[in-house]
Each structure stands twice: as C-alpha cells, then as structure tokens.
Structure 1
Amino acid sequence: MAYSHHESPETLTPLLEDDVVDGAADYKGLPARRSTSGGWRSASFIIGVEVAERFAYYGISSNLITFLTGPLGQSTATAAENVNIWSGTASLLPLLGSVVADSFLGRYRTIIAASLLYILGLGLLTLSAMIPSSQLQVLLFFFSLYLVAFGQGGHKPCVQAFGADQFDGQDPEECKAKSSFFNWWYFGVCAGGLFTVSVLAYIQDNLSWGLGFGIPCVVMILALIIFVGGTRTYRYSIKGEEESPFVRISKVFVAALGNWRTSPSAIASEEESRGTLPHQSSEQYKFLNKALLAPDDLMKNGKMCTIAEVEEAKAVLRLFPIWATCLVYGTVFAQSTTFFTKQGATMDRTIVPGFDIPAASLQSFIGLTIIIFIPIYDRIFVPTARAFTREPSGITMLQRIGTGIFFSIISMVVAALVEIKRLQTAEDYDLVDLPSATIPMSIWWLVPQYLLYGLADVFTMVGMQEFFYDQVPNELRSVGLALYLSIIGVGSFLSSFLISIIEDATSAAGQTSWFSDNLNTAHLDYFYWLLAALSAVGLAVYIYFAKSYIYNRGSTV
C-alpha cells in the first residue's frame, strides 16, 4: 500500500500499489490513481483542444498565400517565401516553448499561457483583415501573424506531450494505448484540418477575410474552456529535485571536451573502478565516455558525471542524425500550402455551374487520406505486421518514418508529371501569355499528389511524433516533440532558401523564373524534380543512420 505524502497514514485512505501511477500526481498534488485519472478520458479532452488549435492554425496557413498575393498584393515568389518563413518560425518556436514548459512552468500552465497568447494573435489578425489597405494593415497583419506563431510554439509540443503523459508507459495495457494515442491524435488533428480547408477557405475567398480569421479565434476560446474543463481528470508529472536534464546533458559534453586528450586506457580504467560492465556503456559515441574522468575541481564538488548521465547524453546525440536526414521531408511538406495552391488557382475548379471550389480546399484530401488510413494502419496493418515481425507496433518507428519519406518522393514525381501536363494544356490552348485565364484542365488532376502527401504523413509524421517523444529523457519529452516540429520548421526555411536561390538564378539576364507570377511560363515541374532528387538522396542517408540507431530505454518499436 501507498499513502499520500500530504497526509498521515492514520487519516488517509490507503492506495493500492497497482492503482498508483509512479511519477504522476493529480490536480491536488496527491499521487495519481490509475482508476480515477489519466487514460483515454483525460486524453480525449486534450485531443479535443488540439483539434481546435489545428483548426485555427490551418485556418490561417492553408490559404495564407492567397491573402498575401490578393489583399496584400505580393508576388507569387515573395508570398511563397513569406509563407515558408512564417511556417518555419512557427515550427521552430516549440523548441522555446518546450524549454519553458519542461524547466519552468510545466506543461499544463504553459498550455494555458500559450492559448491566451494565441487568442490575442487571432483577434488582432481578424482586426487587420478588416481595416483598409495601408501600411498599418501590413504591420498589424504580420505582427499578429507572428503572435499566433509564438502562441502555437508554446501550445503545440506541450499539448501532445501532456496527452501522452496520461498513459503510464510502465503498465502493459496503458503502454499499448500510448502507442495508439499517437495514431488517434493525428487522426483528430487532421479531422479538424479537413473541415478547415474545405469550409474556411471558401469563406475567406468568397465572403470575408475578417470572418475567415474571426471564426478560428472563437474556436480557440472554446478550446481553452474545454481544456480547463478536464483539469480534475489529468495526471501531472512530478518534477524531482535532481539536476535539470539540460544541466546534466550539458555537463557531460563540457566534461568530455575538457578531457579530449584522455587516452582510451584511462577511460577503461575509470569504468572498471566504478564497477561498470562492458555492456553497460554503449560502444556508440564512446568519446563521451571521457566525461567520466571529470576535472579535479568538479570531483571535489561532487559533480562527476555518472554512467547514467553519459548514456543519457548519448541518447540525445543519437537523435540528431535522424533529425538532420528528415529535413528533406520537411522541405517537401512545405509545398502543399504554397505552389500546389497556386497551381490549382489556374485550373478549372467548377464543381457545378456557378460554384468553383477554392484551390486551397484540395488540401482537405491530405486530411481525408489520413482520416481513412490511420484506422486501417492502427487496426489492420499493425496487427498483421506484428504477426510477422514480432514488433509491438508492427514495424519500428524508424521503418515507419522511412516509408513515409519514400511516399513523399513519389508525391513529388507525380506533382512534376501533372505540372508538365498543365503547362502542355496551356500551350495547346494558346493560354501561355494569359495568366488570368482558366486552363481547361480539371483541378482534380492534383488530387493524386495530395493523396500521396496524406499517405506519407500517416507514416512519417506520426512516426516522428512517437520517435522523438519516446527517445528523449522523460523530463525532456516536450523538447522531444519540439524537435519533431522543428523538422517541419527548418524544412520550410530550406524551402524558402531554395526558392530564393532558384528565383535569383533563373531570372538572371532576363530569363523566365521557375516561379514566375505567370505560372504558364514558370517551371514548377523543374522544382518538383529537384525536390524528388534531393529526397531520394536524403532517404539513402537516412537509411544509413537508421540501421545503426540504438533505441533508448530498451525500446524496440
């Protein structure tokens, strides 16, 4: 039996050991009970708030390029760069938000603060869309846009980590539920996004940008109310009194650097003196074992690095080759909200006479694919694969990520072929020099590349979420999810960088740019072929590092 540390055994109802969740407390600060806290009940509140947040985010991002090239009057290339820079910033800021959560405020308080900031940004964004075109409008728009990015930066990694915290990884049943949580989490996120791009894009294009930005603001207010409503059911991580994980990991790298001249025999002698068996210290990144021989001043202060701390640092270091080789996926990911949308705007979008589908609405096919395939993946593919591989999740996390990268390559190949067809159609009908004319080619030709995007997401995006959550120290799980998000952020920056370089190179000496405002004379197909080639190289390098990756905490999934 166990008793709360807040009350004496005489006054406290005893807690069954099996009912106590180690390292977790309830909203009163008492030991969390498995029977009354956490699990799918709590996770459903958190999934609900994330669905609303993604609704708000996609309500801005999915059609942002249309607002920039329309009311703000920017060129296609400039607008695409601005979208990528903003998306990249929004995806990198979770690194800051996760540090604030894991080191200071905690995930629950960070989510509350970030939601308030998010709502403020959406409110100002709505106001900016309603005022007349002026320099003030531009300044207010971009200020509020980046305010939303800061709110998202605190919200995104903490909500997902907080949701996964509702399942005890040490309990066999809850461990399986946690793996399933990442699938259904992404299912909910994409369900919210599906409604956004199919409805809000129409409102923004045909009714009012103010209304199109105002609705997400109202939804975020409701989301915050829902999240607070689940407060009594949540499990909250208990912070220990040990050193911050940032301090522990930094100390290892500093000590290893300070002893870089140390001989291997000295390290082996130190390991032996501490009673360390050979298999306890992994062979990978052995240079960090030099941290075991701390400088004299650290030894006197009792700050020597332990074997556990060295292994923790190695676990974090192992993540970076995987992170770096996934960046090309983030670059491909950026295209669905920029050039795909601009392509669709030039094509025949008529559904019925008098009604044209907004070009941005085709992004709903990404979400639709995910909504269809995640249940198939979770309920059919995983059990089937498990029977052959004996892996609890069917295939390993890294195999899942690599499969998605492969599908992203196919999506770029298909996108290039469809663009060649679109350019040929424009030429056949003598529309090359008429950029505002509708090309007699149905927008449904773009659907396959969106479907392949969605299929890639089912594998790579969900795989990266679980991988970076699972493979970092427990105290850094918000940071782990921020690392996954930063892949999309850095990928957006890389996309913007490529666009800028290619724009300068291909428009020199009076040549026609690949990204000309007249897409009928541009060459987006060349850009897609380039991304497909870069992705193929990236996948080859990824496979090399993935095959040598050593899973942390004995994980094999």
Structure 2
Amino acid sequence: MKEMEEKKEAREEGDGEKWVRDSSVDRSGGLPLRAATGVWKASLFIITIEFSERLSYFGIATNLISYLTKVIHQDLKTAAKNVNYWSGVTTMMPLIGGFLADAYTGRFTIIIVSSLIYLMGLSLLTMSQFIPSLRPCDGPSTCSRTRKVHEVVFFLALYCISIGTGGHKPCLESFGADQFDDNHAEERKKKMSYFNWWNFALCCGLLLGVTIIVYLEDYVSWGTADLVLTVTMAVTIATFYSGRSCYRYRAPEGSPLTPLLQVLVAAIRKRNLPQPSSSDSLFEAPASASPHKRLLHHTNRLRFFDKAALLEGSEQASNGRKYDPWRLATVTQVEEMKLVLNMIPIWLTALPFGICVAQASTFFVKQGVAMDRKIGSFEIPAASTYALAAVGMIFSVTVYEKLLVPVLRKSTGNERGINILQRIGFGLIFSVVAMSVAALVEAKRLRTWKHDVLAQGRGPATAEPSMSVFWLAPQYLILGLGDGFTLVGLQEYFYDQVPDSMRSLGIAIYLSVIGGGSFLSSFLITIVDHVTRRTGGGEGWVGKDLNSSRLNRFYWLLAVINLANLGVYVAVARRYTYKNVQRRAVVVCREDGEDHEARA
C-alpha cells in the first residue's frame, strides 16, 4: 500500500511539472501545458505593449504643461491643475477597469478593448494637428487665442487616453504576472524578477518618450510626434494579439467585492457569539470544493471578523456543502477581508510619495523652461529633463535585481532579499531628500534669475537665464532612485497581497496612489496659494509664472510632510502581517545547495 501511494504521488508530481494547475487555462479553456505557455516567452509580448503605452503616456504627460501654456495659453497655476486633474483621472480610472476584468471579462479582453480606445485617443490627437478645421490656429504660426473646437477635441482625446489607460494599466501588468505559477518554485522566483524587468521596460519607454517624442514636439511638430505614437501603438497592439496562443488566462470569478461584503454581513449577524478560542472551531471549505483556489492560514488580527466563520448547529450538519454565504464564511474569505482592510494604512501612507511624483511632470518641467538648456547650438527640450528620473529608476532597479537581491537572499534567507514593505520604506526616504534638494536648487535659481535681470539690464520677461538646466539633475535622479524602490515595491505589494480574485483591482489600487497624489497635489496647490496670498500681502507661493512664485518654500513643505509620513509608515509597516498561503509546494533547500519542490 505504501509503495502504491508513493507511485501515485510521483505521478502527481510529474503531472504537476507538465501541466499548470494554478487556476489558469490556455486559449481553448483547458489546462495550460507548462512548456508551451507562460513565463518569459509570453511576458515579452506583454512587456512590448507596455513599452509602447509608456512611450505614449510620458511623451504626452511630461510636455503637457508646455502645450497648455504655450499653445492653449493657460497660466501656470491653471495648467498645473489641468495636468494634475488629467493625471489623477488617468490613474484612478484603472479602479473601474480592474474591477470589470476581475469580475466579468477577464484581463485579456479588457486589454484589447482598452488598447483600441487608447489608439482612438492618439488618433484624435493626431487629427487635431493635421485636419485644418481642428488645428489650434488658421495658419502654421502660433496664435494668441486657440480655437475652441481644438480645445474640445484635444481634451476629448486626452480623456479617451485616460479611459484606455483605465483598462490597460491594471490588467496588463497583472496579466504578465499571471504567466508565472506561484506553486512552482522556479517560476515563483522568476515572477519576483518580472516586476523589476517590467519596470525596466517601462523606464525605457519613458526615456524615449521624454527625449525623442518631446524633441519632435518641440522642434518638429506636435502632429509628427502624435503620428509616431499612433503608429507605434497600432503595431504593438497587433504584436500583443499575435501572442495569444502562448498566454495563460484567468477566468473571471464574479465580483471580488461580494465575498468581502458577505464576511462583513456574517460577522455582524454573529456579533453576539463568543469569540472563538482557536482556529479549530472555524469553518473552511474542503480543498476538493475548489482544487485550484489557494487557501489562507488563520491569523489573530482583526478577530471580530473571525465570527463570520463560526459554525452554528444547523451549519455543522451541512458539512460545508450547502450553506448560506451571508451567514457563514470560510477562513480564507475572512483572511481576505483582513488583507484588504490592512492595506488601507499602507495606501494612505503612500499618498505623500504620489504628491512628490506629481511634481516631476509639472513644476520640475517648468523649472527647466526657466533655465539655460543650451549645449552649444542645441537646446534641450524642457520636458526631456524628466529622462533623468527614468535613468535613476533604471539604475536602482538594475542594481537591486542584479546586485542587492542575490546578496540579501543569502544573508536574510528571504526569497525577495528584503520584504516588500522594507523596500517601499527605503524609497520613501528618497522622497524627503529629493524635495529638500529641489527646494535648495529652486532657491538658487531665483537668486540667479534676479542677478541676471540686474546684470543684463533687461526686464524680468526678457532676461536670458544663465543657470544650467543640469542643476535639476540631482532632484530628478534622487526621485528616480526612490521610484525604483517605492513604486516597484507598491506594484508587487498590491498584486501579491490582495486576494487572488482581485489582482487586476490590486494593480489599480497601486495606480490610485499616483492618481490620489496628483489630486492631492492640486488640492495642496490651491490651499497653499490661498493661505500664502492672505498672509503674504497678495503674493502667494504659486504665482502666474515661475519667477513670481516661491516654489522652494512649497518643496520644503512637501519635504516636511514626507518626513512626518515616513515615521507613520514605519509604525504601520512594523505591525503588518503578510498573506499566509497554504502552499501546495514549498522550496526545500538541501545540503547540495539546490532548491527542490516537496509536497506541503
């Protein structure tokens, strides 16, 4: 009998190596063949379209404030608010797209539909520059007043891109992560590297967007840049679709919010029952009921919700086969509810970092406009300075992946090197330093500008700046280094720590940190401007143009906010409990130094 059981287990392990059994399906709806689907051969198709999307987004976003001030003739404060509003909507829309993908359509369908909407937005931008009746002016030269029809089409195109991003961003990254099996030791390690290389490709798209695309916008034409983005997006959509035979898909499981609501209702209904003394008295559905669903271990946090899994007399007899989900929840459902609630403090403490990120595409760019950008006879586009943030992020991601992780894995025994929240917290330190450096640089720029006005004997509007734009390099690079830790860490955190049924929504929650940061930045600008005008005799920190503003003080305010937030984050992170999964397979380290899978 023992020999038969061993043979059966060996067959199951061999079968598990051949087929993927993590609730994924192949294109035809069957079990995916491990050798023919997923992993890097599938992820490369997915990363390609992400590269194109980031090329388009940053090619537009980083120079948007220049377009609004130079072409549509908005003042600095209005333009900054419009950029923040658009950025905020663009990064909040994924909450809707992620929910629809998890609940009803699946990730692949949403990616295709949203990519086509994105392409439509880029096409509208292109038409607004080439069709005579939609162009900003009648003639080829700039005009003092832009046509209303151009503004309507322009903002319609921008918000089509927002809608496209709403489905594109939450699903694409999680769809790529779905190509790796968490129950397979080797694929699980590759998945940890996936998030780093995903962001490497993202930064490459960003780098080209803020250099080549911005150069075309500033020195060739906005229409040419929009045409390049439109064609690139069309090609990468076709490329992504061509890889559909090697993808692993996840079927939608219905609304991921319903089980959470059921836990809340069941806990309230049983609120008068005594608190369970141990997890043995709590109900868990048998593994055979959902063989591909990962079960979670019970934890002692937020114990009120444990009452939702308490068995009553009539429920014990049912043996879990038929029960009212609004009166009885499983331990896994209860733990998923706890996971979501424990994410709220992490999300809130990440928002100040999102405010700092918002400055890079607004005020940092305008600082570049007011500085000397010439290298010989060539003038660097102001928005291209954003490339330095991408360089910082590429550097930090590469060093972390290739140097730090191998060393930290050996020293800590952690598969990730350091845990996710430690990585995020380390990046938050960079935000404080970046805002402090930005404040010092802006104070120097203002002093230099005043000296230039006096030395050149010109008016404030015509004085030539003498301070080099490369003074902005430290603040961009430091913020980029922080992005490599905090933003990548947040992506992995919100994918890994959410319930398995809401991973698209998890990536959307990560993006909402950036969107929330943009909205808070706009709100903070309004409050600061209002308060400082009242206390400063009519002169606020954020004026109509950069030289009449006092952005150095605004940056110091952000540095103080982020420093205080760092202290709160550390307190929250130290008390955090990670998702505790009942794995089907675990990694066993033998004396020969090799990793092997064994049944848990």
Q: Following TM superposition, by how much is the alpha carbon of 1:479 offset from its aligned partner in structure 2, in angstroms?
A: 0.7
1: CA distance, partners of 2:234 / 2:363: 32
Correspondence for 2:99:
99
CA distance 1:467–1:270, change in 2 (3 Å) = closer
Contact 1:43 1:163 in 2 (8 A): yes
Correspondence for 1:327:
351
Q: Following TM superposition, by how much is the alpha carbon of 1:281 offset from its aligned partner in structure 2, in angstroms?
A: 3.5
Equivalent of 1:480, from 491, 506, 516? 506
Q: Following TM superposition, by how much is the alpha carbon of 1:296 offset from its aligned partner in structure 2, in angstroms?
A: 11
Secondary structure of 2:547 counterpart: coil
Q: Following TM superposition, by how much is the alpha carbon of 1:209 offset from its aligned partner in structure 2, in angstroms?
A: 1.4
Q: What 5-or-longer segments of structure 1 have no aligned partner?
A: 1-14
Equivalent of 1:455, from 469, 481, 487? 481
Correspondence for 1:49:
49
2: CA distance, partners of 1:411 / 1:273: 52
Equivalent of 1:302, from 324, 327, 348? 324
Correspondence for 2:164:
151
Contact 2:452 2:463 in 1 (8 A): no
Equivalent of 1:228, from 228, 236, 241? 241
Aligned: 1:318 with 2:342:
yes
CA distance 1:387–1:75, change in 2 (3 Å) = same
Deviations 1:499-537 (A, max 9, x none): 111122223485222121232231000010000000011
Segment of structure 1 superposing worse, 213-222 or 159-168: 213-222
Q: Following TM superposition, by how much is the alpha carbon of 1:285 offset from its aligned partner in structure 2, in angstroms?
A: 1.1
2: CA distance, partners of 1:537 / 1:295: 47
* TM score, norm. by length of structure 2: 0.85
Contact 1:322 1:542 in 2 (8 A): yes
Contact 1:94 1:157 in 2 (8 A): yes
Structural mapping, 1:399-410, within 5 Å: 399-410=422-433
Contact 1:331 1:492 in 2 (8 A): yes
Correspondence for 2:396:
373
Secondary structure of 1:253 counterpart: helix
Q: Following TM superposition, by how much is the alpha carbon of 1:256 offset from its aligned partner in structure 2, in angstroms?
A: 2.7
Aligned: 1:268 with 2:276:
yes
Correspondence for 1:78:
78
Aligned partner letter, 1:311:
E
Deviations 1:405-442 (A, max 9, x none): 11111000000000111011112223696145332100
Moved beyond 6 Å, runs of 4+? 294-300
Aligned partner letter, 1:420:
A
Secondary structure of 2:352 counterpart: helix
Q: Following TM superposition, by how much is the alpha carbon of 1:59 offset from its aligned partner in structure 2, in angstroms?
A: 1.4
Aligned: 1:256 with 2:253:
no
Q: Following TM superposition, by how much is the alpha carbon of 1:372 offset from its aligned partner in structure 2, in angstroms?
A: 2.7
Q: CA RMSD in A?
A: 2.3
Segment of structure 1 superposing worse, 456-465 or 247-256: 247-256
* TM score, norm. by length of structure 1: 0.91
Q: What 5-or-longer segments of structure 2 have no aligned partner?
A: 1-13, 138-145, 285-295, 587-600
Deviations 1:58-117 (A, max 9, x none): 111010000001111101011001101110110011110001111111000100000110
Contact 1:38 1:233 in 2 (8 A): yes
Aligned: 1:142 with 2:168:
no
Contact 1:267 1:292 in 2 (8 A): no
Secondary structure of 2:276 counterpart: helix
Deviations 1:349-397 (A, max 9, x none): 00112x2101110101111222233222111111112222221111111
Equivalent of 2:471, from 419, 427, 445? 445
Segment of structure 1 superposing worse, 112-121 or 133-142: 133-142
Secondary structure of 1:483 counterpart: helix
CA distance 1:294–1:92, change in 2 (3 Å) = farther
Secondary structure of 1:528 counterpart: helix
Deviations 1:157-197 (A, max 9, x none): 10100000111111111000000000000000100110110
Correspondence for 2:3:
none
CA distance 1:69–1:96, change in 2 (3 Å) = same
Provide the aligned length of Structure 1 versus Structure 2. 534
Correspondence for 2:565:
538
CA distance 1:280–1:101, change in 2 (3 Å) = closer
Deviations 1:228-259 (A, max 9, x none): 0111111112456xx64321111112333445
Deviations 1:310-367 (A, max 9, x none): 11111111111111110000011100000001011011100112x2101110101111
Equivalent of 1:498, from 516, 524, 528? 524
Contact 1:119 1:220 in 2 (8 A): yes
